[in-house]
Amino acid sequence: MEAPYVIELSGLTKKYGDFTAVDNLNLSIRKGEIFGLLGPNGAGKSTTILMMLGLTEPTSGTVKVCGINSTTDPIDVKRKVGYLPEDVGFYEDMTGIENLLYTAALNGIPREEAREKAERLLDRVGMTKEAGKKTGKYSKGMRQRLGVADVLIKSPEVIILDEPTSGIDPAGVQEFMELILQLSREEGLTVLFSSHHLNQVQQVCDRVGLFGGGKLLAEIELTDLHKQPHGLDDIYNRYFGGGQSHE
């Protein structure tokens, strides 16, 4: 039996005056899958994510996450979803573990349980040695790893990653992508990974939606492309042209 849908977008549209940022988007993402929202900067990916999180209202259409309407019940959605943006905001005069404990407190997790969970998550993301360092001293890659732990501390059902590898060196990107893949498989998490980097999306995603001009241009099952070495590259270039997104 096919897994149920965790994210459902129906006719989702967002207009700013005469400009249409997201245009009649229909998309369903299954429980436990890693879905890549792939497209150039300015395609409307971040606007779509903001509507999923209930941080901006659609002009028309509906968005449901874990069966909850993001527009009418945004607080309930936030309890189910962990969000990692391009640049994570931490209290820079607090240590890594202090930031995690603060997030846990905001989510009503008892302190003893929170500390045990924070220490376990820091170990999972390879940040145990940096736990006592103030986050103002962290590199971009370290901040994103701590961001993953911060997202996971409230035990979300869905993780949304919006350009999470921007500014990280190549070795750090590889480690980050392997971490996301491992966590998704071991924890059964549903992951929405928004990026303009074709390589990264190919590396971890089960399915990809090509997004451009506010529209979903194509949906591709990556398992269907394994026999074609340049399959996704060719499809991407057909819509967006070559010369980018292969970092």
Residue 73 lies in a domain: yes
pLDDT tens string 194-206: 999 988 898 899 9
Binning pLDDT at 50, 70 and 90, where does residue 226 land?
Answer: low
pLDDT tens string 86-114: 888 899 999 999 999 999 999 999 999 99
pLDDT tens string 4-36: 899 999 999 999 999 999 999 999 999 999 999
Cα–Cα distance measured from residue 168 to residue 200, given in angstroms and rounded to the nearest whole number: 13
Residue 148 lies in a domain: no
Q: Tell if the pTM clears 0.85, that is, is over it.
A: yes
Percent of the chain past pLDDT 70, that is, above it, reads 93
Tell me, what's the pLDDT at 25?
97
Tell me, what's the pLDDT at 35?
97
Instruction: Please give the average per-residue pLDDT across 115-138, as a whole number.
Output: 95
Tell me, what's the pLDDT at 223?
77
Give the Cα-Cα-Cα angle 115, 113, 118 (nearest 5 degrees): 35
Q: If you write DSSP's letter for every residue of 88-123 in order, what string do you get?
A: ----TTSBHHHHHHHHHHHTT--HHHHHHHHHHHHH
pLDDT tens string 139-190: 999 999 999 999 999 999 999 999 998 888 888 888 889 989 998 888 889 9
CATH number reported for the structural domain that contains residue 26 in this entry: 3.40.50.300
Q: Are 71 and 243 in contact (CB under 8 A)?
A: no
List Cβ neighbours of 103 (8 Å cut-off, separation of 6 or more): 150, 153, 154
Domain encompassing residue 45: 5-90+159-240
| Confidence check: pLDDT of 1 > 90 | no
Residue 109 lies in a domain: no
Tell me, what's the pLDDT at 59?
98
Residue 141 lies in a domain: no
97 φ/ψ angles, rounded to the nearest 5 degrees: -70, -30
| Confidence check: pLDDT of 243 > 60 | no
Tell me, what's the pLDDT at 3?
64
Residue 32 lies in a domain: yes
Residue 172 lies in a domain: yes
> What's the alpha-carbon Rg for the chain, to the nearest Å?
18
Residue 176 lies in a domain: yes
Tell me, what's the pLDDT at 230?
61
| Confidence check: pLDDT of 192 > 90 | yes
Residue 222's identity, in one-letter code, is: L
User: Please, what is the average pLDDT of the chain?
Assistant: 91
pLDDT tens string 29-76: 999 999 999 999 889 999 999 999 999 999 999 999 999 999 999 999
Residue 130 lies in a domain: no
Bridge partners of 65? Answer: 7, 68
Cα–Cα distance measured from residue 33 to residue 5, given in angstroms and rounded to the nearest whole number: 10
Instruction: Please give the average per-residue pLDDT across 207-214, as a whole number.
Output: 94
Residue 197: is it exposed, middle or buried by C-beta count within 10 angstroms (0-12/13-18/19+)? buried
Q: How many domains does one find in the chain?
A: 1
